[in-house]
Structures are given as structure tokens and as C-alpha cells.
Amino acid sequence: MFRERRITATTSVIFAAAWAAPEARSDTGGRDVSFEAAYVSDVLSNVSGGVSRGVRYLDNLDLTLEADLGRAVGLADTTLFLYGLYNNGTGFSDGLVGDAQVVSNIEAPVAAFRLYEAWLEHRLFEDAVSLKAGLYDVNAEFDALESAGLFLNSAHGIGTDIGQTGENGPSIFPVTALGLRAALRVGENWTARVAVLDGVPGNPDRPRRTAVSLGGGDGAFLIGELAYETDAIRLLAGHWRYTARFEDFSGAQARGNDGFYLRGEARLASEAGDGAQGLSAFARLGAATGRFNTFDRFASFGLVYTGPLPGRDEDRAGVAIAVAGTSDGFRETSPATGAEVAVELTYRFVLTDWLALQPDIQYIVNPGTDPTLSNALTLAIRAELNAPF
């Protein structure tokens, strides 16, 4: 009944596993080669509303290898990054909740172990210019904020307006595409990034395989972003576009599937004596061409407090909301409500330097914008295990 593609993204998993901003991923900690393994599991229950009540277990295994090729083989200012990804393919939103934005950002449509990223990065002019080529997750650098990475709902990774698009999505979790990315840092505060990638990541007919297939009418996915960053604030402005033709809701083929986003986070208050603890806020606005896409507008907002309890300096508590509004074209062809809304309340307990637990509550208003589904209430507990070698 609905023309929609479910949206997932791994930004919060990446941040939770202690991979920071993408430029920092070129630092191997003084070693020629570094290796990390991270395992994230979710036990989720849909306690009311949606499609059906039930409990599901989802998991996500990340294996990453990063090599400083200057130290290893004498290729100065060059980094090799390899990333293997496994997911068990269990559905929670797909089957129990029925929401489009996806309650858990580790939900994947099929069980698979795949080569998720494999790229080379070369830096020039004292790291002011960075060039990257290979299998590449756009959301690792574009449309990503650290504070929003606390939340489980996929809408707080890459925005719903981008995540819904494409024949097989843009190049994000769980399938990536071959691409080129260039970044230019201007002064201490400004960074501009542009990327061009295959317009259809992987092979939609063989979703368990890592596949690179250029041509065949796939076109390209183009994205650009301008970022401004200080110690207290980070602001992003981006635009994206597909070059291929898409079928609109009238059945016609046309070009022009594009959109933009504005996003930012800021430190609102810091505790005396420890600037790392305190209250942060983030917000996002985005739009996509309604002629081709289920959702043509998106907004999110959240608050995150680091160190909310005495003696729990690394814990984080947060509340967030994500709103995806349906396009006129979609509502003209499908019985749909005006928007899906996801409200999330979460708390992340850091128990050791390798283990964290995160209880989570979400309330989904109008799941999937399907008028036959009642609002859903979900409960979850996430466990994170991180092992650097």
C-alpha cells in the first residue's frame, strides 16, 4: 500500500563505539596498524500499538582495521581503512511496529556479513586538503552530529529526508557504494566537503553480497556540506542530488530528486570544573523533492546531558523528537496521515571502558503514516562492547 523505503543509519553506533569525527579516523594512535571490534545488541519490545506486540533481538558486529601507510610502507599522509559489518537481519520496525523511520539504527533487512567500507585517504598541505576513494559511508562524515548519536532511532543518524531516497538508498548502513570524497579545511573553524558516489549501492537483487556495479542507468549521488565548528558549537548546511531519472507518483520518469538540510548542535551549559559535562542541544531541518519521495520535510530536536548523576561523569541522558512529513504526491496516491513522529527518552550507562548499557523508550505517533495503525510504545535495552587491539 505504501511506496516507502525503510530508513536505517549507523551514526549513533559509530559514535557509541568511540569512532569520533571522520577526520579523526585517520589517527592510528601512533601505531602502523590499529584494529577494533565492537558488538552492539538490542533487545526490543513493542508493548502496544503498531502492527503487533512482540520482542526481538538485533545485533551488529563492527570489525575495523586502520593502517597508517606512511609508517607501514612509506606512503606518507595516506590511510587505509577497512570495515567489516555483520547484522542478524531480524526485523523489529519491519514486522512489529510498522514505522518508517525505524526504532533501532542497527536493524537491517537481511542477515549478512559484508565489506562495509574500504577506502584510501590522502592528505595534502598539512592536512588542509583530504581526498578519499573507495567504498564509503556518506553518513560517517555528512549530516552527522556527536550529540544526536546517543539515540537509537535511525532518524537521528542521517535525516529521514535523505535516508528514504534512492533505489537502494544512498550510500549508508547497511549497504555502501563506491565513491570519491574531497574535503577542504579553511582556518580553524570551516570545512567544506563534497562527494560523488554510485547512485545505487550494492545489488538490490542480491542484498547479502558486497557488490560494485557502475553504469546501467544507476547515475550518481552527489552531496556537498559546509561545516562551521568551535569548541561550543557545530553547524552544518548541505545539499544532495541524484543524477538518474526516478518515477514520480504519477508514474512519469523525470530528474530532479534532490534536497537540502540544516543541522547544528551547541553546548548550552557546562558544569563547574569540567567542561565535558553539561547540557547540549541539537536540531535539524531537511527537505526532499515531494514529487518522488514519501517524506518531503523533516525536523528533529534533542537535548543531551553528559554526567547527569554524581559520580557518573561519562553517562549520558537524552530526549529527542523526529518528525517526518508526507508529501502531497504520496498522500494523493496512498491513504496516509500527515506525518510520523518519534519521541525518544534514553540513558546510557558507561560501566567500564569496554561495556555500556542503554535503556530506551520510544513513542511512535502514526507509525508508517498508516491510518490503520495505532500509536506504538517500544521499550529497549542496548548493550555495547568495544575492544580495541
Q: What is the CATH number of the domain that holds 81?
A: 2.40.160.180
Average pLDDT over residues 226-249: 97
Claim: this prediction has a pTM higher than 0.75: yes
SS3 of 323-369: the string is EEEECHHHHHHCCCCCEEEEEEEEEEEECCCCEEEEEEEEEEECHHH
What pLDDT score does 30 carry?
Answer: 61
Contact, 289 vs 260, CB < 8 A?
no
d(CA 66, CA 237): 29
Query: Among residues 4, 2, 99, which one has the least CA distance to residue 367?
Result: 99
Q: Are strands 220-229 and 190-198 parallel, antiparallel or unpaired?
A: antiparallel
Q: Domain tally for the chain?
A: 1
| 162 occurs within a structural domain | yes
pLDDT digits (tens, 9 = 90+) for 44-81: 999 999 999 999 999 999 999 999 999 878 899 999 99
Contact, 172 vs 10, CB < 8 A?
yes
What pLDDT score does 11 carry?
Answer: 45
What pLDDT score does 212 carry?
Answer: 78
What pLDDT score does 71 carry?
Answer: 82
Contact, 306 vs 176, CB < 8 A?
no
d(CA 168, CA 154): 16
Please report, as a single letter, which amino acid is at residue 217. G
- Taking CA atoms, 201 is separated from 6, 52, 89, 286, in Å, by 15, 31, 18, 22
344 Cβ partners below 8 Å, 6+ apart?
A: 151, 152, 153, 156, 318, 319, 320, 321, 322, 360, 361, 362
| 6 occurs within a structural domain | no
| Residue-number span of the structural domain to which 185 is assigned | 11-388
Residue 283 in this model has a pLDDT that exceeds 70 = yes
Contact, 223 vs 239, CB < 8 A?
yes
Backbone angles phi, psi at 147, to 5 degrees: -65, -40
